[in-house]
Every structure is written in structure tokens, then in C-alpha cells.
Structure 1
Amino acid sequence: MTQDSRSLSLVGYDSYKESPSASPILLDGLDGNDDTPDQGLGFDSSLEITSQQPERNSRAFKLEDSSADGISHLDDLDMIPLTTKFDTQMKMGSPMAMPPETLPPVKPITATDLVYSSLAHLPSYFFEQTHFRIERKCLLEMCKLRRNYLIVSKQDALSCFHLHPKLPEQGLKPVEDRLSRMPHLLNLREDKTSTSAENNDYKRELYNGAVDVPTFKEFRQNFERCLEIIRDKNLSRFSEKRLQYLLNKFPVFQYLHSKEELKQSKKVPHKDFYNCRKIDLNLLLSSCFSQWQLNEFIWAKLRKEPNRIIYQTTDGKHITLSQLFKVDFEETNMFCNGLKIINDSFLEWYKVIYLAKYHLINSEPETYIELHDRQFRYYLIAKTFLEFDNYTNGEYLAELLQEFLIKPQESSKYQLCQLSVDFQFYLHYGDSNVDNWWMVFSNWLNHYNLFSDNICWNIRISRIYPKLYQTGKVKNFQDFLNLIFSPLFNAQSCSHKSLGPILSKFLSRIASFDLCIQDSDDYIWKQFTEVNCLPQNWTSNGDNPTISQYMYYVYANLAKLNHVRRVLHQTTFTLRSSCSPTSMNRTSQFSSTRNFTEHTEAILNNFLLASGGFLNAENLWYAPPSLIYVFYLSQIPMVVAPLNSIADPKGTTTLEDQAATGIVLEPPKHYSKNPFMKFFEMGFKISLSSESILYNHSYTREPIIEEYSVAASIYRLPSADLCELLRNSVITSGFASTLKVIWLGISLTPHDYFMENTGFVNNWYDCKPNTSLDHNVPIIRRQYRNSTLSGEWRLIIA
């Protein structure tokens, strides 16, 4: 048949490229207008079915085969080997995509490509001349408020010099304090550091309170404005849809590009999960070792020094280790000396009762519990082995910290942590310049050589004003704040140079201040006082101030302290906060015109005032969608501890034990119900933390490795996911920026490469075109995160 003008010549691109000798497939006469009649089939005696003609008619498809020097029929196409790239992909189960034969070289992202990834560097007229939709413009308005609060308080990374010079050891002389038996290392030489007259005048202004911090009234107005924004129905529906879109977009990206990510990860030699820096951002000092490690340590001390005096009662009676663990106060209630000294009953009492009642306020327990009670034995165990200020001067806790935390981290090289310690509200002997908590704790660290380059410190501040007011330690809320910040301002002033080196050494290693919002915080008010009153006027018959009052006044004092330290060329501090799950059932008392919960109040305060991040990020999942979405847009750091939130149903105490200790156990939680993986898939700056190893039933010497290993095994995380989590922990940590240049290849100095914003205030620039050799996060993953965030900002400002 003659080929007409309607004939098509189809050439398969892949097959033609791989087999250039193959001829095109000819499709002729597909309209069915051929007049040649169809031939039937005839029967043969030997073959049963034969064709009556040796050749098929012209309507059949013809494929010329050069290798066979003949024509292959359409019926024989299934015998041709699968040599195309599409067929190879189908055999391997890959997505039905047709990528080019040779992938183009990866082009590094420059700063000019990141127009919408960070709006912190844009000029002010950009926000004035751009036309916004009303409900989306409000999100940018909230981000601008956050940026202003953080820059004023010097919580941005550029305000901190991030220099940690080694203090000279000369001039340090141990001075024995006969009252506390704690050697205070005081600087007996005069500080010869000279400053200019302008700096001295500026410092005097800062000491007098000349810091331009927004007033509490302005903060309350901004808070209510943000509350009005996040409660808008249209914005809530919009934010909920965007969050759902982000959650569903990441699996599609992994489905299409998982093999390319694996290919890029394998190109990085000697840099996998184990060889990347990993930082535990919220590890508690009170529980930074496992249960079996504490048991082994106690048994070793019992065998080595059983007659060591560990406590002295008010009547002068001494208690030794052997008496504590072998001889009971009552013969009818003999103490079981088994292999497991630290059992679940003690851990629950220690967590619920001791940390809330005896740990934060240094008071004698003999006025509350009897010597023959089992709780007194628990108190002695906690006071002896888990406190730094006790009869043995914290020797046991120092050995535990040195043996199970500092030495393993320094030997591993790739593990670091930010250790959180509770600020204890007490005055030792009335001299607030020497015997305050700051000096006692820093002297303890220096005496036992517990300063390590692998450890930064976080100071946890608890909301226990009512307890302090009832014991008479404070008379108003201002006294509460003075216990925390007055020693720090005195240490910076010129009249207290004797406090210099030790306290300065400790302060240079502090990363942040954490405001802890816990279930045990007092909530019920007896006297409704106006929240706008000054802290010195807040007596309120012992009523606990609101979360916003705590956050603002801690923020204001921290801002003043950061200004002073920046003038003195010292490191500055950031602010972080947490949120209690029970706060969702408590109505906030901060506003008299709007109804909202303490849960929303705590998260919104963190958004406005805290640069260090949000602790216990599991609770953010139950916040209003608009508030969650603005956390994503701002890329606020978040810390989550999935293993710590699990309650072991096998380790619960009996009803008799609960009645004796007054413990109310929480229902057990499942690991899979923790929303941290959803936050990660959506693109939040989230990282994992061990938090309380003592309660996690950890059986390894590397708890942070165990935390990531459990997550990797449950969610089947590939190397790219694990390395991205590790990179988030490093970039949002409080370690020096000079170290981050080595660890991640990023700097605060502008470069023409990839630029990443954290918290809507800090811009981190890649120092070279490809930094994957430092952290092993594939470039394609970073490009996806950047393009997704840029797309959300384009949608908002379009």
C-alpha cells in the first residue's frame, strides 16, 4: 500500500538513542479505509492452525529489524529486549518519570535567588508599597513585631560576639569558706582592662536602666493585636489548608527524588549520621544519666566508702551511706537491699514531689516530713547524689557528671549538648554579692573542673512566686526578679571585680534562659490584681502572676543585661520557653476583654519574645492553625523529646505507693502519636533531644544516638532526614558562630551562596558553593526546603 500524507512516523527518543540502527515505526492506514479483504485462518494437519498467506496484509504494523535483515511483526514485539531507560525504570519500580540521560550539574543557589526565603533584609519601603490581601498581610505584621522585639533585646546572632577567650589562671587563689565548706576562687588582683570614656558613660546609662525596651503596656497591646490576628476565621482556614499542603507535599518529593538524594549522600565520603555533629539542646542536669548508671555508681560508693557521712540532722545526728541503704529507721519496715536501688517508685517521687517542693527552694525537709518516713529516705538519696549543694559539696553529682556525660562526649567528638540547670531561689548566708546561687554553682563547676567545650548551659526559671511568698523569701514580684538578675548586674559593675573570673567564665558558657511552664504551677487566684501594675506592687496575697508577666519581665531584664554585656564585649543570652499540656484547660487571666487559654498565651509569648526557640514542641500541634503556620514562616527553632513523653505502663507504682506519695500518674502515651515527624515533614526547624535520660529507661551510653535511632527505626528515616535533623540542632544551638563555620560551613558574613534564615532574625550564609561535605544534607533537599518556603511567602505577599 502506498503511504499517504496522513501517515505518522514515531521515533522513541530513548530507544533511538540507545539503538540508532533501529528504524522508525510506521503507522499506516489506521483509518480502516483499506479495500483489501481480511484473510481467514486455515487448519493444517500438522500445525493445526496456519495462515493462508505467507505475508500479512498492508494494514499490519511493520518494524524493520536491521540485525535480522527482515521485518518483525507486531506479534513479535514482546520478544524484543527491554533496552530503553523507561523500561529499566519500570523493572526497578521507579516512578514513571523521564529524566534526561545526563543530569545537569548542580548549580549553587545564590543570595539573589532567595528573594522570598527571608524578608528580614528587605527595606522598609517594600512593606509599604506592596499590596497585600488583608488576612495574609497580618502574618507578615506579626513577623515584623517579633523581629523588632528580638533586635531591641540583642537576641539576634549579630549582637553576640560569640567569642570565648580563655581566662587567665593567674590571680586565682582558693579561699576556704568555713560556713559553707566550699572553696570560693576569688580574683584578688585588680582588673587592668581599660575602656574609653564614652563606653564608661554608656555603661552608666545602661546600669541606670536607659534601654529602649517596649513598655509592658505596649507589649500588651501588641499581644492582643496578634491574638486578634490568629483568631480570624478566614486566616485560620487558610493556614490550615497551607499546613495540610505542606504535610502532603513532602512525601511526593521523597517519592520522586529519594534516589537522587541517596546518590548525592553517597558522594560525600566519610560523613554519615555518626560523623555529623549532633547537639542535645535541652538535657536536664537533674537527670542527665540513666537509671542503671546511677545504680552502679551508688553500689560502687557503698563498697568503697560505706562509712561516709552524707547528712546531718538538726539535732546533730550523722547519717552514713551504710545507714541509709542497709539499716532502716524502723525494724518493722526493713529496706530491701536489692540490685535496683533506684526504682520506679523513687523516680516518680523524685520527679513529682522533690523537684517541685524541695529542689527549687533550699529548705530543711525535717519540718515537713518525719525522719522515720520513707519519703525522708528518698529525700536523702536525691539530696546526696543529685544535688550540688549538700553536705558533701556536690562531690557525687560532679563525679556522675564527669564520668557519664563529659568524658563520653569529649571522647566521641561529634556529640555536644546544652545542659539545663534549675535556678534555685535561696540566699545562703545573707550576702547576695558572694553567696548567691550564681556564685555557688559557678564555684562548684570550677572546683571540680566541670567546664567543657562540648557543653553549653541553659538556666531554667520556674514560676514559683507563690511558694517563695508563703515562705517569706520575697515580698513582691520584683524581689523574685531581683533574686535572678541582681547578682548578674552586680557582677558586671566595676565595684565588684572580685567576682570576675569564675562567674564570667560560667556566664560566657550560658546559651539561654528558659522559662518553664509546668503542670505544678499555681493557677487559682485569691485576689484579682490588675496585671498592668508594676512588679514591686504585685503582692496579690501570693497569687501567681500570669505567663505573660513572667515572660515580659524576664525579657526586659535580659534585654538590659544583654546591652551591658555587649558593651563589655561579652556574650549575650537568648530566651526560650516551654508549654504545659494542662494549660489547654486553663483560661488565661492576662486579658479582661478576650477569652483564650494559657496554652495559646504561652506559645504566643514565645513567638514574640523568645529567640532561642520553643521547648516541648509537641504542645504546638494543638495551637490555633494560624499560630502554627506563622511558626513555620518564621522558621522558629523547636525542640522535641519523643522518648521522654512516653509513660511506661509496666513501671507504674501500686495504688498504695501512690497514696503514700500523693502521685497522680498520667495515662501512657505512644511514640507514634508524637507529632514531631509531621513538623519535620512540613519543614519546621525542629530537632530531637533526650531531655530526661533518668526517666527514659535508656540502656546505652549514648542517649542522643538512641533517640535518633528509635526515630529512624520507627519512621524508617533515610540518611538525608537524619542529617537534616542534626543540622537543625547545630544551626539553632547556642554554640559560637566560629564553630558553626567549621561544623556546617555557614557564617553570619554575607556570601553569594545559599542563604538561610532562622527565627526571622538570623541570616546564615554558606561559605562555599557546596557545604554537603560538612553536614551531608543533599543539595536537592535544601533546594526543596527553600523553594517551599519561598512559595509560601510568595503566596502571602502576592
Structure 2
Amino acid sequence: MAVAGADEMPRQFPKVTLSDVDEEVRLLAEKVYASALKEEENKDAISMYTVPEDCPIGLQQAKDRELLRELAEQHSEETAKRKKSLKMIRSQSMQIPVCVDWARATPTPLVSPSSTCPSIPDNFPEYQRVTISGDYCAGITVEDYEQAAKSLLKALFIREKYSKLAYHRFPQTTARFLRSAENLKWREEDEVLPDICPCPREGEDPYSMENIPENLNYELKMRDGIIHVYENATAVRENRPHCLPYPDLETFAIDMTHVLAMIADGPTKTYCHRRLNFLSSKFYLHEMLNEMAELKELKGVPHRDFYNVRKVDTHIHAAACMNQKHLLNFIQTTYKTDAERVVLEKAGQRLTLKQVFNNLNMDPYDLTVDSLDVHAGRQTFHRFDKFNSKYNPVGASELREIYLKSDNYIKGEYFALLIKEVAHDLEESKYQHAEPRLSIYGRSPEEWESLAHWFIQHKVHSPNMRWVIQVPRIYDIFMSRKLIPNFAKMLENIFLPLFEATVNPQKHKELHVFLKYVTGFDSVDDESKHSDHMFSYKSPKPEQWTTGENPPYSYYLFHMYANIMVLNNLRKERGLSTFQFRPHCGEAGSITHLVSAFLTADNISHGLNLKKSPVLQYLYYLAQVPIAMSPLSNNSLFLEYSKNPLREFLHKGLCVSLSTDDPMQFHYTKEALMEEYAIAAQLWKLSTCDLCEIARNSVLQSGLSHQEKKHFLGSDYLKDGPKGNDIRRTNVAQIRMAYRHETLCNELSFLVDAVKSEALGSQT
């Protein structure tokens, strides 16, 4: 891995002060917060935009009011000028030229008949396109259209800022349009990508401790909940941190305020709602017109079908990565071979496996999957507490301690064997990969060394697995047990060992090796848990958070992101791998969770609550924020399968993938990921192209290295549209890829054109 030069790195975090925020924006944001807190009491609350209108009289009155307003504005001279400028802009040069080889793959709606398009290469498939003609086609007044466009572009600029600072991905297409809005030219060297360690080659030792970088002996100190790096003790005393970007809580709160205000802004909601409806209808027409052509393309691909395209389980927890039958067989096997082995120390007494089962009054040979009782059912719906208890086989925490923990009396041996058996099944399948979550709690800084030692001692590495660290949001439990003095100590226990292993890897060799295979961080817990604290720039610093109350979700996310961002910049400077932030988000709870994640996360898991907010859903589409969805998991916990928005999101063009979450609780077969695909395909009548598109998305949003993605998706996978798709590897039709790219470009062009037309109108 090459060491990045100083000029390549985003060294400063651009700060914003409260004086830069309009009073109206602040009030709108507070309104959203207040309504979100109120809505938490009603778990079934759904936005008016996601269900059919139940009041036809009210709908008609709203339409009449809008019609009268539009008629009045049609006579406005100013409006006429704006419409004229919009029409002129969209008829001159509709889109940013992305690539000259297939110019017809740029969006065609609203291009004037007089505009010329270079010819399509012979090997590029032709298909039927849907064209909408008119002036600006927004379906709302020009003023509302321009206001919505400015708000949406501002939100995209904010996400781009946070993504680039943390070395998270930001889509090239969206970045091109943002540069166009600034009247700048997009440069390839401006693109920022995560730097992930490639999988060891065959014959290489994945646990080798050779060629470890030298120690820097930098000083590390936590300030305001964020680890700061200093070159020496003098720099610490003078408070001169090493040249890295350090996030600012006030700036983040203000940026979040801008996005929150958009959610409550009427014109923006209307615009986003209409565009999302259009995207859904447009895909329906595309499917009707081109389904057979896509299928014909796929039939012509040799040695590639849905079964042998790469799929990644982008969201799975290591402690539940096996199905219930697998766990039952493993328990019975270990009892048969290790009955007299000491496996547990409880209250100062050492117990053999046989004694443990005797104390539980059970014989392992009589166990069944029903008596094991780890499967979620109807009784867990909206009962996260009951779901968590399913991690205890036969309801016994002792068995969880023995079989599903990495830090126990037997040093996590059984847990490692279980994971290795799951990894072996993945390797046998060849085309399936997984990203299991391992827990770091923040109780003690020794957790990292213990986990790294477990990983290396038991040789848990697999070429078909990448690891994500999950941090449960359970500060309140630690405080109630007086394990930590404040929230800052929990953050320090989580992140300080990582900084130490980055600065002085020779002193932490095992952790350095383990971090090669860790690709990201997750924030987990029950999102529906209520917090009385409203996150803002006035929120106390982590060192001052000494109450027993759990910090709100946004507070957790900011401080996790902030430390990951500083850590990534430090590791990039040292030529080491970087990490992605991939929190659980939008499964339940407040809509504000999705706003926090929009700013801070590389990708999210679940995202169900996007259904409640057309503005956020449209932003997640424009920014192509990856979403790992788990319909079977949601079906048992929060949302019936038939109501899951995955199919709706896929049709609109959001970047969604399928994942299992917890096979032990939700699945029956040995191949849990294939079970997810099979049920989704049957219930929603997904085509082969749909399934392969979801599989391709899973590889793109995964923590696999650049080299692996090139092998699985094609050498040009980073390019946009059909140019970035190798159908021989992905089995996704070029027609589908062209449609997705054209549609995204078209939506982005609406926003850019609105800004340019306003600027043009102000000049005339």
C-alpha cells in the first residue's frame, strides 16, 4: 500500500459557526426533532407519502389550492423568465459528458430534437427509453422547484464533505454533477476511496508478523471525546496536534440542522415525493418494455448465472452466523468428545461440560431445535428484549458463554470452531462471502488485544470472510455497574488501542495483523429505545456526560465517526488500511437516526424508516448510499415481510443488498444468504437481472479489497454505467446498467439546472 502524499490528504475539517445558520432553518430542525420524539410513542406511524390518501375531499382541496397557485404564477413575468432560462439550459447541454464511447447512455429526457448524439458502439445493446418532454418537468412551481433543488444540493455537498474526510466512498456520477453546480471540472484524482488490505495470496501466511512498520512513538490524548495525535510531549503541553482533520461537534450539529430542516420543508417534501413516484413508475415502464431484452442479454452470457455470481452477506453477526441445526449438532458433538473437559468458571468453581448440563437438568442427546429455543418467532415482534434472550441456547447464559463468546475460560475455542465451520461452507460454495460482526464493548482497553489474540491463536481468517467490529450502545448499563466514570472513557477504551496499534505497531503486533482483516465499524442496539436528550451543539462533551442516561443515537454516531475519521487519516498517512463506518440505522426509532447516518456512514443496515421520509429517501438515492436490508429479520422483529420496502427501493434505484442478520434466529437452511434471495425472488417475483443486480450491489458495498472487487466485478467496476459493468462476471444486463445510470444523471441534472437557471435569471 502506497503512502499518501500530504497534498492528497484532506487535512482540515471545515468548521461552521452558529451565526451561519438561519433562524428559520433552526426552527424547522427543532420542529422535526420534536415531532420525531413524539412519533417514537407511535411505532406504526407512517408518513402520508407512503400510503394511499384516505381523505379524497382533503386531497381534492389540496389539488385545487395548488392549481390556483400555479395559475396565478403563470401570469407572473418573473416566473416566465425563469421557465425560459430553464428551458434554454436543458436544451443546450443536458448532461455532463461522462464518457464519449456511449453517449446515448446519458439521460435523454428533455433533450431537444435538434441536439446531436454520437453513435452507440455496435456492441452496446439498444433498448426502449422513456422520454418526458416539457419545460422543466418538476410538476411544481418554479420557486418551489428551485428551493428544493438548492436544499438537496446543499445536503449532497455536506455528505460529500464528511465522506471524503473519512475516506468513505462517494459516487462519481453525483460528484461530477456537484462540480458542475460549482462551475468546476471533476478530476479523477479528487476521487476518494477506502484503502482495504487485499486478501493474502495462496501460500502466504495471513498471520505473518513480518514487515510491520516501525513505531512513531507519537503521543495520544483524548479531547472532547476525540483522540488527538501529537508528535511529542511538548506538542501535547502546547496543544499542537499532528496535522490531521479533527471534527467539530458544533459544525456537525449545524450541518445536521440543515438536513433536518429539509425534512420539514414543504416544497422539498413535495418535490422529492413526486420524483420518487416518477422513479417507481419509470422502472415499471422500463421493465415492461425491456424485460425480454434484458433476459436475452443474460442468456447470451457463457458460464454465468445467478448461482455463480459473487454475493456478500453484508450484515451478519458472528455470534449467530450458524443456523440452529448447526449449533445443535456442534453442541452434541462437543459433549460427545469433551464431556469431562473444564469449560466454565462460575463463582470460583470450575465446571466440566458434563457438570454444566447436569446443573441445567438436561441431556444434550435429548436436545432438539425446539428445546434449543434460539429461533425468533411471533413472540419477538416488537420485543427486542425477547429477541436478545434468543442468544442464550435453552435460555441458559452459561451455554452462550461457552459456545458464543471469544473471551471465556476456554479462550473462545468453541466459538472459533463454529465460525471456521461456517467459513468452510462459504469456501465450499466459492461464490458466497460474509462480513461477520464481532463485539467490542468499551468496558476495558484490553478487549482489543484479547480479540486479536483469539483471532490469531485459533486461525479464524478465511478468504471468504471480512470482519466488522460492532459497538453496542450500552453506556447506561456500564454506568449502572460503575464500570466507567463517563462516556469519554468508553470511547477511549474503544479507540485508543487502535491509535496505539497504528502509531506503534511493533508494540501491538497481534492487533496490527488482526486489523488487516477488519474493514469497518458498526453501531448496534435497539433503536426504538427512547432518549430524553435532544442532540445539539449544546450537548455536553463526552467527558462531562456522567449521568446514567444513555446518550442519543446521533451523539453515538458523531463520536464514532469522528474517531474513525481521524484514525483513517492517520492510517492512510502510514500506508495502512482504512475503516468504513457501517451502523445499524433506520430499523426503528426516530427519523433523525437516518439524518445522522446520511452525514457520517459509508453505508447502513436496515433503513426501513426511509419509507417515512420522501426527502431522506430521495437523498439516499441521489448519494447512492448503500443499504444492507434483511427482510426475514425485520419480519420477526419490526415489519411484516410483505410490507418491507426492499422491492420498492430496488425499483427506484437505491443501492440495496440482501443480508441475513442472524441466521441462528431467522433461517432454516445451511445457505442462509441463498434462503434470503430465494424467498425475496418468490414473494416479489424478482427477475434474474434483479437478483444479480442486488448481488452486484452487495459486492460494491462490502469491505472486500479493490483487487477482489476487480476480480469479481471486472477491472473497470469503478466506472459509471455500462462501462463499469462486466456482464461476464456480474450477469447484470448492460441495458439495466444503462437505465440506472441515465436515470440517476437525469435526476441530478434537474437539481444542477435549477441552480444554474436561478443564477442566469439573476443576471438578466
Q: Which runs of 5+ in 2 are unaligned?
A: 1-119, 127-143, 170-190, 219-228, 754-764
Q: Is this contact kept in 2: 1:737–1:747, CA < 8 A?
A: no
Amino acid at match of 1:285: A
Deviation (angstroms), 1:343: 3.3
Q: Is this contact kept in 2: 1:132–1:797, CA < 8 A?
A: no
- Indicate whether 1:564 and 2:570 are aligned: yes
- Indicate whether 1:499 and 2:508 are aligned: yes
| Alignment-derived partner of residue 382 in structure 1 | 400
Q: Secondary structure at the match of 1:533?
A: coil
- Indicate whether 1:576 and 2:582 are aligned: yes
Q: Is this contact kept in 1: 2:558–2:600, CA < 8 A?
A: yes
Distance 1:166 1:602, change over 3 A: same
Q: Is this contact kept in 2: 1:731–1:740, CA < 8 A?
A: yes
Deviation (angstroms), 1:304: 2.2
Q: Secondary structure at the match of 2:278?
A: helix
| Alignment-derived partner of residue 135 in structure 1 | 148
1:53-452, aligned counterparts within 5 Å? 105-107=122-124, 133-156=146-169, 158-164=192-198, 193=214, 208=241, 210-316=243-349, 318-326=350-358, 328=360, 338-340=366-368, 343=371, 345=373, 378-403=396-421, 405-427=422-444, 432=445, 436-452=446-462
Distance (whole Å) between structure 1 residues aligned to residue 395 and residue 727 of structure 2: 53
- Indicate whether 1:789 and 2:732 are aligned: no
Deviation (angstroms), 1:457: 0.9
Amino acid at match of 2:192: L
Distance 1:686 1:437, change over 3 A: same
RMSD between superposed Cα atoms in Å: 3.6
Q: Secondary structure at the match of 2:591?
A: helix
Distance (whole Å) between structure 2 residues aligned to residue 447 and residue 782 of structure 1: 45
Distance (whole Å) between structure 1 residues aligned to residue 726 and residue 316 of structure 2: 28
Deviations 1:616-643 (A, max 9, x none): 1223212x21111111111110010111
Distance 1:249 1:337, change over 3 A: same
Deviations 1:366-393 (A, max 9, x none): xxxxxxxx99970111111111111121
| Alignment-derived partner of residue 779 in structure 1 | 734
Q: Of the candidates 536, 547, 554, which is equivalent to residue 543 of structure 2?
A: 536
Amino acid at match of 2:506: K
Q: Is this contact kept in 2: 1:209–1:560, CA < 8 A?
A: no
Q: Is this contact kept in 2: 1:152–1:212, CA < 8 A?
A: yes
Distance 1:302 1:352, change over 3 A: farther
Deviation (angstroms), 1:408: 1.1
Distance 1:108 1:558, change over 3 A: farther
Deviations 1:27-70 (A, max 9, x none): xxxxxxxxxxxxxxxxxxxxxxxxxxxxxxxxxxxxxxxxxxxx
- Indicate whether 1:741 and 2:741 are aligned: no
Deviations 1:522-569 (A, max 9, x none): 6356x9998433211221x21222222211111111111111100110
Deviation (angstroms), 1:287: 0.3
Distance (whole Å) between structure 2 residues aligned to residue 339 and residue 358 of structure 1: 16
Distance (whole Å) between structure 2 residues aligned to residue 224 and residue 616 of structure 1: 23
Q: Secondary structure at the match of 1:459?
A: strand
Q: Of the candidates 683, 687, 707, which is equivalent to residue 676 of structure 2?
A: 707
Q: Is this contact kept in 2: 1:518–1:580, CA < 8 A?
A: no
Q: Is this contact kept in 2: 1:152–1:213, CA < 8 A?
A: no
| Alignment-derived partner of residue 720 in structure 2 | 755
Q: Is this contact kept in 2: 1:511–1:734, CA < 8 A?
A: yes
Distance 1:674 1:203, change over 3 A: farther
Deviations 1:376-428 (A, max 9, x none): 9701111111111111211111111111x11111122111111111213333x
| Alignment-derived partner of residue 17 in structure 2 | none
Deviation (angstroms), 1:214: 3.8
Q: Is this contact kept in 1: 2:213–2:506, CA < 8 A?
A: no
Q: Is this contact kept in 2: 1:517–1:580, CA < 8 A?
A: no
Amino acid at match of 2:727: S
Deviation (angstroms), 1:258: 1.1
Q: Secondary structure at the match of 2:396?
A: helix
Q: Is this contact kept in 1: 2:217–2:503, CA < 8 A?
A: no
Distance (whole Å) between structure 1 residues aligned to residue 146 and residue 502 of structure 2: 49
Deviation (angstroms), 1:150: 1.4
Amino acid at match of 1:618: L
Amino acid at match of 1:320: T
Distance 1:240 1:140, change over 3 A: same
- Indicate whether 1:693 and 2:663 are aligned: yes
Q: Secondary structure at the match of 1:158?
A: coil
| Alignment-derived partner of residue 628 in structure 1 | 617
Deviation (angstroms), 1:269: 0.6
Deviation (angstroms), 1:139: 0.3
Distance (whole Å) between structure 2 residues aligned to residue 273 and residue 233 of structure 1: 43
Deviation (angstroms), 1:481: 0.5
| Alignment-derived partner of residue 512 in structure 1 | 520
Q: Is this contact kept in 2: 1:617–1:676, CA < 8 A?
A: no
TM-score (norm 2): 0.69
Amino acid at match of 1:532: S
Distance (whole Å) between structure 1 residues aligned to residue 370 and residue 409 of structure 2: 21
Distance 1:168 1:532, change over 3 A: farther
Tell me the number of residue pairs that the alignment of Structure 1 and Structure 2 aligns: 577
Deviations 1:62-109 (A, max 9, x none): xxxxxxxxxxxxxxxxxxxxxxxxxxxxxxxxxxxxxxxxx9934389
Amino acid at match of 1:142: A
1:597-746, aligned counterparts within 5 Å? 599-611=590-602, 613-622=603-612, 624-647=613-636, 670-698=640-668, 700-746=669-715
Which protein shows a greater Rg? 1
Distance (whole Å) between structure 2 residues aligned to residue 729 and residue 581 of structure 1: 19
Distance (whole Å) between structure 2 residues aligned to residue 341 and residue 627 of structure 1: 41
| Alignment-derived partner of residue 46 in structure 2 | none
Distance 1:745 1:375, change over 3 A: closer
TM-score (norm 1): 0.66
Deviation (angstroms), 1:712: 1.2
Distance 1:171 1:572, change over 3 A: closer
Distance (whole Å) between structure 1 residues aligned to residue 411 and residue 723 of structure 2: 46
Q: Which runs of 5+ in 1 are unaligned?
A: 1-102, 110-130, 173-184, 360-373, 584-598, 648-665, 757-764
Amino acid at match of 1:788: T
| Alignment-derived partner of residue 480 in structure 2 | 470
Q: Secondary structure at the match of 1:418?
A: strand
| Alignment-derived partner of residue 555 in structure 2 | 549
Distance (whole Å) between structure 2 residues aligned to residue 716 and residue 458 of structure 1: 32
Q: Is this contact kept in 1: 2:373–2:395, CA < 8 A?
A: no
Instruction: Name whichever of 529-538 and 132-141 sits farther off.
Output: 529-538
Q: Secondary structure at the match of 1:474?
A: coil
Q: Is this contact kept in 1: 2:215–2:503, CA < 8 A?
A: no
Distance 1:342 1:498, change over 3 A: farther
Q: Secondary structure at the match of 2:366?
A: coil
Amino acid at match of 2:733: P
Distance (whole Å) between structure 1 residues aligned to residue 389 and residue 282 of structure 2: 47
Larger relative CO (CA 8 A, sep 6+): 1 or 2? 2
Distance (whole Å) between structure 1 residues aligned to residue 370 and residue 341 of structure 2: 19
Q: Percent identity?
A: 28
